Every structure is written in C-alpha cells, then in structure tokens.
C-alpha cells in the first residue's frame, strides 16, 4: 500500500504470512464493518503470500 510507511508495511507483510495472524487480521477488518477495509486486508494478505493479479 502506497500510503503506509515502508517499515510498517514490511513488518505487516511478514506477520501476515502466518495463517493464524492473517485470519485474525481479516476478522478485525470484518469487525470494522467496512467493505473497503476488508478488501485492503485481502490485498495485504495476497501481497504477503506473493499472489499477483492476472
């Protein structure tokens, strides 16, 4: 994500490689009730797992 500082984003992506952390991150996004936040969370998890758009 471009608007996040690089050190924060790098650490977040490391954490999100853990399936339990990724699930907790998604659940927190769901609890916020924002579809946009949930999609951002999915994007971050995809980036952490090296998934790319085709």
Every domain of the chain and the residues it spans: 6-48
Question: 46 and 15 in contact (C-beta within 8 Å)?
Answer: no
The gap between the terminal CA atoms of the chain, to the nearest Å, is: 18
> φ, ψ for residue 25 (rounded to 5)?
-65, -45
Q: How far is residue 31's CA from residue 54's CA, in Å, rounded to a whole number?
A: 29
Q: Record the pTM.
A: 0.77
- The Cβ of residue 38 has, within 10 Å, a number of other Cβ atoms equal to 16
pLDDT in tens, 12-46: 999 999 999 999 999 999 999 999 999 999 999 99
pLDDT at 22: 96
DSSP letters for 27-52: HHHHHHT-HHHHHHHHHHHHHHTT--
């Amino acid at each position: 994500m471009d608007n996040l500082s690089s050190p924060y984003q790098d650490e977040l992506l490391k954490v999100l490689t853990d399936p339990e952390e990724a699930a907790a991150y998604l659940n927190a996004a769901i609890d916020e009730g924002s579809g946009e936040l949930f999609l951002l969370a999915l994007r971050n998890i995809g980036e952490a797992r090296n998934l790319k758009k085709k």
